[in-house]
Structures are given as C-alpha cells and as structure tokens.
C-alpha cells in the first residue's frame, strides 16, 4: 500500500533573488562589451544563484550564448536555451561525452589534441576551441594550432582565458597579444577572451563575444565595475528561537561570546552546512528593516546566534537578511566573491 506523504512545509531558509538586478547587470556588461556581445557563464548552477532562475532571466534580457563547465550541467540548461548556444568548457574526456554532445547539439570546447581526436573520430561538427595564452590551465598551446587535427575542426568560438584581469598586470597585454596571434593561426567564426573583469580592460580584449560570470550575479571583480553592478542574491533565514541572556552568560560552542549586559538574542537556522562558514563568527551581521543584528559567538553547522537588542519587535518565525554584499562580505571574511556565491548550500530552495 502506498502511503501519501503530507505536503512538505516551506524551508526556513530562502534566497532572495533580484531578477531586475540580474537583467541590469547583463545589459550593463553587454553595453561595456562595445561591438562584442556578452554571453553568460552559468556553470555551478549559475554560480549558486540557480540556473532555472538565471537562464530564463538572462535569455529574456538578450543573452544568446551560455557556458557550463561539466556535461552534467547541460540538461538543466537545455530547458531554457537552444542547444547550439551552449558550450561545455571542460570538453570531452571520453567517447560517451562526445556521443552526448552529438545527441544534444551542444558544443564541446576542445582543450587538447586528445579531445580534438575524440571529436574528429566521432564525426565532429561545430565546436569551440580553447587556446592557452598564459594561465597554464586548460587549453591548446599556440604551437598545437598548426596540427592537422586542430586545423580540421569546424570552430565556432575561439576562446582564451585571462589569468589576472582583475589586476593591473603585464600578463593581460601579453595574453591579449597571444590570443590575437591565435586568431590568425586557426580559422574560426568568432573569438572570445574577456571574463567579467576583462570586459573593463577595453575594446582590445572584447573580440566578438565576452563571457561574464561573477559580475552577472552581483560580484565586483575590479574597481572599474564598482557602481555598475547590482546585488542579486540575499540569503534569508527564519528565527527559530528568541532568548533572554543575563550578564555573564555565554553563547554557542566554546563560549567565545559573553553577554556584557542582559541581552535579547535570536537563533537562526543557518550555519556552515549552508555555506555560512565559521569565518562569519563574531563578525557577520544580519538585518531586519535596515537594523543591524550582529552575529554572536561561533557559527555552528545549522544555527547562528544574533543580537536582537535593536529589534525588540522580532519574534520566532520572523525572517532576517544576511549582510551579503559580495565585495564587503569578501573583505570581512577573507573568502573570494566566487566562494561566497557558490558555497550557498542545497537547503536554500532554488
């Protein structure tokens, strides 16, 4: 006999996601890309924001080209965008990957002679190529571009990737020159170099298509984009319990906070299992109607304790916002803006 499960109650965590901010960010980056078009990196579940949320918003904004890292990320994206506008950055590692690409119509990004052979031996078709110009990560060497395996590819987008676009580094200009050299060595329809920060380096770095990621979702990778990029994501948590502390009582694991005076505190159901790591202990803040609610003591796996001294109206079941503006949060925790987004855990409904 099948027993019907009761309706699942709503989660006590949620991500406040601003579609208007995401739209505005993509359009700003597209405008800054000049004569090039902006695509969108939507790998890692759209940097933790949720591909089912982000992809339709970005497509409606005008985005036509989308990039994921893993083959496992393709299926969710194909619910929202045409297959021939999807590129898989890691490329094929086996014949199974190639078969999947051919069956779905998505484009592999060819990163090595081995991958080029896999693609050719299966009959190939349109693909992208990554050339390494100095990051020494994925990509063909410039010398590999003359190989008949590579010359025989039907290359849509010729990629390279900047190592230090967020810094004033001589490597940027060197990589740009090598990328331009590659453009003269391998026939292709379009070329792409700039990530989010690379867009701000100017027209020489834009090619035909830029590939923003972090800045789409509220990150500010370089000072030139400050004031242009809007916050997209705010983690929110419900208050599980409100407590009254007496002066001298301690809070949380290892008693790292002692109440100096009688205090009203709250326990929220957010912890390091959700990506709100222990580095927020004693330094993070939540807010309610603009009022700051400092984190007290250690963040634990599923709970964080906050000071409610300025918010006497809050009760159990009420919601509070985590301070999560990415530039400020990165400075406060030592985490990168990328980590802050992609760490947000599965217990946040998307």
The domain segmentation of the chain, as residue ranges, is 19-225, 234-342
- Taking only the tens place, the pLDDT of each residue in 165-224 is 999 999 999 999 999 999 999 999 999 999 999 999 999 999 999 999 999 999 999 999
Whether 72 contacts 63, CB under 8 Å: no
283 catalytic per annotation: no
- The helix/strand/coil state of 15 is strand
**The CATH number, out of the four listed (3.40.50.10860, 3.20.20.10, 3.40.190.10, 3.90.470.10), of the domain defined by the range 19-225:** 3.20.20.10
Q: Is 47 marked active-site?
A: no
Instruction: Determine phi and psi for 5, rounding to 5 degrees.
Output: -80, 140
Q: Are 187 and 175 in contact (CB under 8 A)?
A: no
pLDDT higher than threshold 80 for residue 3? no
Q: Which residue in 114, 253, 283, 324 is the catalytic one?
A: 253
Main-chain dihedrals φ then ψ at residue 262, nearest 5 degrees: -55, 135
Residue 296 has pLDDT above 90, yes or no: yes
Measured CA to CA, the distance from residue 18 to residue 38 in angstroms comes to 20
> Which tens digit of pLDDT belongs to each residue from 223-269?
999 999 999 999 999 999 999 999 999 999 999 999 999 999 999 99
Would the pLDDT of 2 be above 70?
Answer: no
Whose CA is closest to 262, among 308, 305, 299, 295? Answer: 308
Query: Looking at 63-67, 198-202, 310-314, which range is the least confident one?
Result: 310-314
Report percent pLDDT > 90 for the chain: 96
Q: Model confidence over 40-51: pLDDT tens digits?
A: 999 999 999 999
Is the domain 234-342 a CATH 2.40.37.10 member? yes
Catalytic option among 16, 43, 107, 217: 43
Residue 329: CA atoms inside 13 Å, Cβ hemisphere, count? 26
What are phi and psi for residue 307, nearest 5 degrees?
Answer: -80, 120
Element (H, E) at 43: helix 43-47
Identify the helix (H) or strand (E) that includes residue 25. helix 19-32
Residue 145 tokens, joined: 């571009």
Find the radius of gyration of the CA atoms of the chain: 24
- pLDDT at residue 316 greater than cutoff 70: yes
pLDDT band at 282 (very low <50, low <70, confident <90, very high): very high
Q: Is the pLDDT of residue 350 over 90?
A: no
Burial 196-222 (b: 16+ CB within 10 A, else e): bbbbbbeeebbbbbbbbbbbbbbbbbb
Q: Which tokens belong to 102?
A: 């051919």
pLDDT at 1: 60
* Secondary structure letter of residue 302 according to DSSP: S
């Amino acid at each position: 006999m099948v027993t019907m499960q009761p309706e699942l109650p709503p989660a006590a965590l949620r991500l406040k996601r601003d579609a208007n901010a995401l739209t505005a960010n993509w359009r700003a980056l597209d405008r800054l890309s000049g004569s090039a078009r902006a695509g969108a990196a939507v790998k890692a579940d759209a940097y933790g924001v949720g591909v089912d949320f982000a992809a339709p918003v970005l497509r409606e904004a005008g985005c036509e080209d989308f990039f994921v890292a893993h083959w496992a990320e393709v299926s969710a994206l194909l619910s929202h965008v045409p297959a021939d506008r999807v590129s898989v950055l890691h490329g094929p590692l086996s014949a199974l990957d190639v078969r999947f690409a051919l069956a779905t119509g998505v484009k592999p990004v060819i990163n090595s002679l081995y991958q080029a052979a896999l693609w050719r031996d299966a009959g190939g078709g349109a693909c992208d190529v990554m050339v390494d110009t100095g990051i020494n990560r994925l990509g063909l060497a410039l010398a590999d571009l003359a190989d008949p395996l590579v010359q025989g590819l039907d290359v849509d987008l010729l990629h390279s990737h900047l190592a230090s676009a967020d810094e004033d580094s001589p490597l940027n200009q060197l990589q740009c020159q090598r990328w331009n050299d590659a453009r003269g060595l391998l026939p292709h329809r379009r070329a792409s170099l700039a990530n989010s920060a690379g867009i701000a380096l100017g027209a020489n770095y834009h090619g035909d298509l830029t590939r923003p990621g972090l800045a789409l979702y509220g990150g500010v990778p370089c000072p030139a984009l400050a004031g242009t990029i809007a916050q997209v994501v705010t983690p929110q948590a419900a208050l599980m319990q409100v407590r009254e502390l007496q002066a001298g009582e301690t809070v949380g694991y290892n008693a790292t906070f002692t109440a100096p005076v009688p205090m009203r505190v709250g326990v929220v159901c957010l912890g390091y299992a959700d990506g709100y790591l222990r580095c927020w202990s004693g330094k993070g803040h939540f807010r309610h109607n603009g009022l700051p609610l400092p984190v007290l003591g250690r963040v634990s796996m599923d709970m964080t304790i906050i000071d409610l001294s300025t918010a006497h109206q809050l009760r159990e079941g009420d919601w509070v916002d985590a301070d999560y503006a990415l530039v400020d949060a990165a400075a406060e925790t030592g985490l990168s803006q990328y980590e802050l987004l992609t760490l947000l855990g599965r217990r946040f409904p998307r």
